[in-house]
Structure 1
Amino acid sequence: MTPRRSQGAVQALASEEHDQGDPLMSRQQPEPRDVVAGLLGDDRLLNACADRDMGALFRLLNVRGVSTRRIAAAVDITQGGLYDYINGKSRVEKLTLFEQIADAFHIPGRLLGLARRSWEPPAVEPVQCEAELPPDGDDLAAMDAFRSADRQTGGGRLYGAVVRHLADQVAPRLVDTISSPQVFAAAAALTEMAGWMAHDSGQDHLAARHFARALPLARASGDLPLAAHVAASSSHLALQTGDTAGAYRWAQTGLDLAGQGSRIPALTARLHTMQARALAAGGQGSPAVRALDAARGSLDTSADLAHPWLSPFDTAALASESALTLRDLDQYDEALTQAEQAVTLREVGRTRSLALSRITLADIHVRRGDLDAAVTVGHELLTTSPTLGSIRVVHQLDDLRHLLEPHKGYRPVREYLVRFDDARRARMLLLADIITPRGGTSR
């Protein structure tokens, strides 16, 4: 007589048999770490970790598409042992196995009562000093000038200028025996800006290095909001490079930092928004929507504190990020409303932001099946200055073209793609001095 299996075991076995029977499906399974990243705001995972019930965790991963074979291999246990955990016949008790599970799936150590894991963002301790002292006027003037130019022309041709300014004007003062916290804050803010310009230049490896350098500088300055701001930028970059787990962790790190410093609602809103983006990328609809609601609640707060080093995060930025979050959740009607608001709110002089918002709007129109509306927005995009030095915009335009390609049997789409390709060739000639292949570098 065949022994009766629990529902959890049957699901696990079915997943395993499917995995073994179709090697292609095995390769297409979701990465366990990405699944966990999407569940970090889910009560089921949080409760399983709080109870140290690894059987519940394994069941949750299996239901989310991770085969039992991959789970067992990731934490170096046998299939039989895994089924015992899933069915509640035994529990994980050994500290070393909890550590293996945390490291295999990138579960933050604190959720399992462990020490901070080596792959987690470094802990940031408050520095006892006078925070938010007035910045040096020359540093702030340079920051404002770079920021204004970047909004209009893109970071491609400004990156080198910012790096030189850091090397020539800021770095020498960091080794001065009487360096003040303001100097470290200026160095952190300008290094973070260099990271964004590297990202805008299509050089994400350089962007990651700049953000990694900016955080300890912000810590040294004692400016916790600035450190949280850098964490938000690291979250954005992680999301853009496909590291959803890292994106969520960095956003949480930023919220922890923001909670220790002066209350800046716009900063808190930005961090909640990055959490929402990471959760949406992981397919976690309800937690993502809750994070968006938290962002809106923070931004709606009337009392705000200006901060000289932080890039503004306003209603237009929130609408733009909300559109992307809702799009990733396949909530296209709501995403469309937010995307239209983002385009409407973009002010004159924000050429790159307007272009990115229009790309998102056209993207959502395509996904909704409204090709005429997508083509209309696409023609508006072709008016974007061809000298805009943003490789990020070029790449997103290429993604939009790829999205439209399957619809070229529709005449308006076909005619638009001809115009698009002509405009792209002209743009590439004008940007030849900074353009790089995706993943490459020109420097």
Structure 2
Amino acid sequence: MRGETAAHMIRRLRQAKGWSQARLAAEANRAAGLPDSLKRQDVYRYEKGKRTPREWLPFIAAALDVPVIELEQAAATGPQEKAPVTVADFLPETDPLAPLNVRQGRRIGMGDVTDLAGRVHGLRLADDFLAGGDLIGAALRELRSAVKLYREGSHAAEVGRALLSQIGELAQIAGWIASDAGRHEEAERIYKLGISAAQQAADTTLVGNLAGSLAYQYSNTGQAKEGLILAQAALEAAGEEAPPKARALYLDRVAWAHTKANEPQPAMRALGEASEALSNDSGDRAAPQYLYWVEAGELQVMESRVYTELKRPLRAVPLLREVLARYNATHTRELALYLSWLAVALADANEPEEAAATAQRVLTLSADVASERTAERVKVVLHRLEKYRDVPEVREVLDDAA
């Protein structure tokens, strides 16, 4: 490519091979015969143009199967336009999954990976019924145990990649649980650990899921700009070949990020693209097990939430009522959350009596749920009802809550 810099060339060729930055560092080390000399963070700096490879040029060229002269010419090229933001830009320079120099643990096999996968799925199913405050202890214990297994145990390359994928999946649900428990800084660290694991396993769909989950947290905790940038990077990381369910989910998160950034039109476009992606699911590209819950009804929920946030209650209320009419009442936390959106939409539609009745259901359902998400939604609902305090039904709900 004419005028391409070394930073762009290294990144382009690495991604064409489907390698993580850690994988490229390992391959360059192998070419140089110097184990562990080049680190993932070095590759990151090369790709961001913060540093020139110099003495590592021949070995990086060998790893990427490109003539060294091409990389040298690219290194001599002047600065170009700023490289797009990627998921890697949100990761710390140190690798929390770096194996110990001397592994003294037992030999890890696929049976261990299968056992971990079963526990991860069990934790995910438990999250359907229990809140973050109930599950955070178990989630953190499982994550610490899995990371220790990877860092201290010995295993074949294939087993190592499979174990990294399971650590990534575990980090996604553990991060979600930590966020639900209101432990946002801890959730951010967990998500980033998971992204690192998924990247090293070259699992782009899982990278997108983890990065999208962190973007969703950013959007909901006052970091709208960061949430939007990361949500778009997560969609890009997953790529066009991601399963339709995955693309639908990642587009939904982009829609929400645009909504929280007060960008209605891009939000609407992303919602439409999410629906189109899901409708194109022919089964040719099977979705990972962890996306079992992504279906048309969930997209309706996000659509209705976007309409509520953008103060379009005439579109939000019918959608929410349709979803709630068929929703599983045993999923207490989600039911309370969805009803909270309906209460707000009804208040925006100037239906204070109905809003009050719905708000009362939210209060009742969330009373014994150890979820920071529901607690925050209760505050939003009560705040929105304040302007109708003169309505007896509303006043009764507000007084009871107080």
Verify same fold: TM over 0.5.
Answer: yes
- The amino acid that maps onto 1:243 is Q
Structure 2 residue 96 is matched with structure 1 residue 113: no
| Superposed counterparts of 1:154-169, under 5 Å | 154-169=131-146
Structure 2 residue 328 is matched with structure 1 residue 347: yes
Per-residue CA distance 1:82-105 (angstroms, 9 max, x = gap): xxxxxxxxxxxxxxxxx9xxxxxx
Match of residue 267 from structure 2:
288
Match of residue 322 from structure 1:
303
Match of residue 224 from structure 1:
204
Structure 2 residue 281 is matched with structure 1 residue 302: yes
RMSD: 2.6
- Structure 1 residues 223 and 310, CA gap change in structure 2 (3 angstroms): farther
Work out the CA distance in 2 between the residues paired with 1:256 and 1:117: 10
- The amino acid that maps onto 1:351 is T
Match of residue 198 from structure 1:
178
Structure 2 residue 381 is matched with structure 1 residue 393: no
- The amino acid that maps onto 2:362 is L
Give the drift of 1:145: 1.7
| Superposed counterparts of 1:368-387, under 5 Å | 368-384=349-365, 386-387=367-368
Work out the CA distance in 2 between the residues paired with 1:306 and 1:135: 23
SS in 2 for 1:330: coil
Match of residue 253 from structure 1:
233
Work out the CA distance in 1 between the residues paired with 2:263 and 2:146: 45
- Structure 1 residues 134 and 271, CA gap change in structure 2 (3 angstroms): farther
Work out the CA distance in 1 between the residues paired with 2:85 and 2:121: 38
Give the drift of 1:359: 0.4
Q: 2:342 aligns with which of 340, 355, 361?
A: 361
Work out the CA distance in 2 between the residues paired with 1:211 and 1:189: 10
- Structure 1 residues 153 and 187, CA gap change in structure 2 (3 angstroms): same
Give the drift of 1:120: 4.3
SS in 2 for 1:180: helix
Work out the CA distance in 1 between the residues paired with 2:319 and 2:222: 23
Match of residue 140 from structure 1:
117
Match of residue 265 from structure 1:
244
Give the drift of 1:255: 1.4
Is there any run of 5+ residues in structure 1 with no aligned partner, and where?
Answer: 1-98, 100-111, 124-132, 422-443
Give the drift of 1:136: 3.1
Work out the CA distance in 2 between the residues paired with 1:221 and 1:308: 17
Match of residue 64 from structure 2:
none
- Structure 1 residues 134 and 377, CA gap change in structure 2 (3 angstroms): farther
Give the drift of 1:417: 1.9
Structure 1 window deviating more from structure 2 (278-287 vs 353-362): it is 278-287
Give the conservation status (yes or no) of the 8 Å contact 1:279–1:287: yes
Give the conservation status (yes or no) of the 8 Å contact 1:228–1:254: yes
Count of residues paired in the alignment? 301
Give the conservation status (yes or no) of the 8 Å contact 1:327–1:335: yes
Q: 1:279 aligns with which of 258, 262, 265?
A: 258
- The amino acid that maps onto 2:234 is G
- The amino acid that maps onto 1:283 is N
Is there any run of 5+ residues in structure 2 with no aligned partner, and where?
Answer: 1-48, 50-79, 93-109
Match of residue 75 from structure 1:
none
Work out the CA distance in 1 between the residues paired with 2:121 and 2:280: 26
- Structure 1 residues 414 and 201, CA gap change in structure 2 (3 angstroms): same
- Structure 1 residues 315 and 347, CA gap change in structure 2 (3 angstroms): farther
SS in 2 for 1:177: coil
- Structure 1 residues 366 and 323, CA gap change in structure 2 (3 angstroms): same
Give the drift of 1:367: 1.2
- The amino acid that maps onto 1:297 is E
- The amino acid that maps onto 1:244 is A
Q: 1:187 aligns with which of 146, 163, 167?
A: 167
Give the drift of 1:190: 0.9
Work out the CA distance in 1 between the residues paired with 2:320 and 2:151: 43
Work out the CA distance in 2 between the residues paired with 1:186 and 1:169: 8
Work out the CA distance in 2 between the residues paired with 1:266 and 1:259: 13
Give the conservation status (yes or no) of the 8 Å contact 1:135–1:182: no
Structure 2 residue 383 is matched with structure 1 residue 402: yes
- Structure 1 residues 148 and 348, CA gap change in structure 2 (3 angstroms): farther
Q: Percent of pairs identical after alignment?
A: 23
Match of residue 294 from structure 2:
313
Work out the CA distance in 1 between the residues paired with 2:394 and 2:313: 20
Name which structure has the greater RCO, CA cutoff 8 Å, separation 6+: 1
Match of residue 14 from structure 2:
none
- The amino acid that maps onto 1:152 is F
Work out the CA distance in 2 between the residues paired with 1:341 and 1:234: 29
- Structure 1 residues 329 and 320, CA gap change in structure 2 (3 angstroms): same
Give the drift of 1:197: 0.9
- Structure 1 residues 389 and 396, CA gap change in structure 2 (3 angstroms): same
Work out the CA distance in 2 between the residues paired with 1:134 and 1:292: 40
Structure 1 window deviating more from structure 2 (382-391 vs 319-328): it is 382-391
- Structure 1 residues 135 and 182, CA gap change in structure 2 (3 angstroms): farther
SS in 2 for 1:158: helix
Give the drift of 1:135: 9.2
Work out the CA distance in 1 between the residues paired with 2:242 and 2:145: 33
Query: Normalization by structure 2: what TM-score?
Result: 0.69
Work out the CA distance in 1 between the residues paired with 2:354 and 2:182: 29
| Superposed counterparts of 1:38-117, under 5 Å | 113-116=81-84
Work out the CA distance in 2 between the residues paired with 1:312 and 1:148: 10
Match of residue 210 from structure 1:
190
Work out the CA distance in 1 between the residues paired with 2:178 and 2:160: 28
